[in-house]
Amino acid sequence: MVADAGHTPGHTDFDVLVLGAGSGGYACALRAAQLGLTVGLVEKDKVGGTCLHVGCIPTKALLHAAEVADSARDSERFGVKASLEGIDMAGVNAYKDGVVARLFKGLTGLVKGRGITVIEGAGTMTGPREVTVDGTAYTGAHLVLASGSYSRSLPGLEVDGERVLTSEHALRLEHVPSSVVVLGGGVIGSEFASVWRSFGADVTIVEALPRLVAAEDPASSKALERAFRKRGITFKTSTRFSSVERTSEGVAVTVEDAKGATSVIEAELLLVAVGRGPATDGLGYAEQGVAMERGFVLADERCRTNLEGVYAVGDIVPGLQLAHRGFQQGIFVAEEIAGLAPVPVEESAIPRVTYSHPEIASVGLDEETARSTYGDGAIETLTYDLGGNGKSQILQTQGFVKLVRRTDGPVVGVHMVGDRVGELVGEAQLIYAWEAHPDDVAPLVHAHPTQNEALGEAHLALAGKPLHAHG
C-alpha cells in the first residue's frame, strides 16, 4: 500500500525502511520514493557507502591516474616527447577526493529531492521490521537489509593501518611506497598492484589459489599474468601466507609454497586483499530470527529473507559482491514492494570487470563451467585476438575476446582482456541475456574504428564467416 506523499520529518514509521545507504540501499530508497512510497534510510556513515567513498569510485580514480602516468612514461611510443617527473600523491588524492565529493553532493541532492528521510547513526534490528538508532525505534511495513561488507583479514594477521593495510587504508596513502606485498590476487589485489606498479613501486602478489583472478576464465588469468610479468609485477600463486613481522624498514612476510617450502619477502607495506565479508555482526539480524549462514543473510531470488516483509540486498547476500549487483537488487526490491512484479536479477548475467592494466571483463559462464553444465561435447569456443582490431592497435593494447557458446546454440559466456574492455561488457551482457546466437549478432553494425568491433568480429568468426580473424 502506498502511503501519502511528503513524509513528515520526525515520524518513525515508513512504508519502506532501509538499513544501509550503500549502492543497494540508496538505489532501493530512490526507486521506492519515486514510486510514491515513504522511505526511511538508515546510515551510520555517509550515503553512498563503500563503493562511493572507499571502494569502486576512488579506486578507479587512482587507476586512471596510473593510466596517465603510464601514458607519460611511454609517450615516445606515440611520437610524443614527454617525461614522467614523479607522482604527487597530494595531487592524486585531491583529484580522487574531488571526484568522490562531486558524486556525493549529487547523490545527497537526489535523496533530499525525493523526500527520503535519512536517519543518521548506527542502526540495529530490534524487531520483525524495526530498526533502533540512538535509542529511537523506527519501523517499516517493509524492511530492507543492506548493510554492505568490510575488508576481511586472516586469522592472526593484525591490520595496523600503517604497515599492514586494507584497501581503505591504501586509498589514504600520502606517498608512493617503494615496495608492497599484496596478499590476494583477486580483483582488489590486482587493481592495487597495477596502480602501485604504474606509480613506480616494486610489487609482489601472493595468491593461495593456482592463478590470479581465479574467478575468471583461465585464459583471462593467463593473459593478465603474462601482462603483469611484462610490467615487472612479481606474483607467487599456490602460495600461502604464514606470518608477518614488522621490521625497521617495513614488513617481512613469510609465505609457504605448494611444496611446503617457506620464503620471506621484505617490503615497505603489506596490503591485505583477501576479499570482503558481510557486515552483519552485531546488527541484530540473527537475534531477530533472520536465517543466516557464515555471516551472510540468506535470501531467495526475489531477495526475500525467511521473515515476512524483510528483504536483503547487496554484499550481505551470498553471491557476487559488486556494487552494480546491489544497485540492481535495490531497484528490484522497491518495485517488488510496490507490486510491479519485476524480473529477478540473474546472477550469471551480472557483468564483472577488473580495472587493472590490462582490464578483464566478462559475463556469463566460463568455459569450464559451461562444459560441466551442458556437457563437454556441447560447447564450442572462439578467441578473437585484439591484434586484428584497429582501435586496439591505436591504443597499443593486447588481449582478446573469447566467446563460449552451446553448439548450434546461444552464446553463454563472453570473456575479454585488454585496456578499456570494461566499456564493451554492456553489449556482451545484452548478447548473453538475449540468448543470442552468433548469427544474431553478426549482422549488427559496429562502428569503425572501435574496440567494439572486436565483439562483432568474434561473432562473425563464430558464425562461420570470419573477416579480420586468422584461421
pLDDT by residue (tens digit) across 284-332? 999 999 999 999 999 999 999 999 999 999 999 999 999 999 999 999 9
Tell me the C-alpha to C-alpha distance, in Å, between residue 443 and each of 428, 446, 453. Answer: 15, 9, 12
Find residue 336's DSSP bridge partners.
Answer: none
- Quote the pLDDT of residue 197: 98
Which cell numbers in the block locate residue 260?
611446503
Instruction: Quote the CA–CA distance of 191 and 296 in Å, as a whole number.
Output: 25
**SS3 state of residue 464:** coil
Backbone angles phi, psi at 246, to 5 degrees: -80, 135
Instruction: Quote the CA–CA distance of 179 and 197 in Å, as a whole number.
Output: 9
How confident is the model over 399-427, as a mean pLDDT?
98
**SS3 state of residue 311:** strand
Cell 547476500 sits at which residue?
317
**Helix H or strand E encompassing 450:** none
Domain 13-53+92-151+277-348 has CATH 3.30.420.10: no
**Helix H or strand E encompassing 453:** helix 452-462
The answer to whether the 13-53+92-151+277-348 and 164-274 domains have the same CATH topology is: yes
Per-residue confidence band for 156, with pLDDT thresholds at 50, 70 and 90? confident
Which cell numbers in the block locate residue 101?
565529493
Sorted by where each begins, the domain ranges of the chain are: 13-53+92-151+277-348, 164-274, 358-462
Q: For residue 324, which of 353, 286, 281, 290 has the smallest C-alpha distance? A: 353
How confident is the model over 55-74, as a mean pLDDT?
97
Q: Is the pLDDT of residue 108 over 50?
A: yes
Instruction: Quote the CA–CA distance of 116 and 451 in Å, as a whole number.
Output: 41
How confident is the model over 411-434, as a mean pLDDT?
98
Alpha helices, DSSP H, located in 346-451: 367-374, 390-395, 425-433, 438-441
Instruction: Quote the CA–CA distance of 13 and 320 in Å, as a whole number.
Output: 32
In CATH terms, the superfamily for domain 164-274 is FAD/NAD(P)-binding domain (3.50.50.60)
Per-residue confidence band for 10, with pLDDT thresholds at 50, 70 and 90? low
Active site residue: 169, 437, 446, 448, which one?
A: 448
Q: Architecture of 358-462 per CATH?
A: 2-Layer Sandwich (3.30)
- For the whole model, what pTM was predicted? 0.95
Residue 11 annotated as catalytic: no
Q: How far apart are the first and last CA of the chain?
A: 61
Residue 411: alpha-carbon gap to chain centroid: 23
Q: Is the pLDDT of residue 280 over 70?
A: yes
Dihedral over alpha carbons 405, 317, 167, 422 (to 10 degrees) = 30
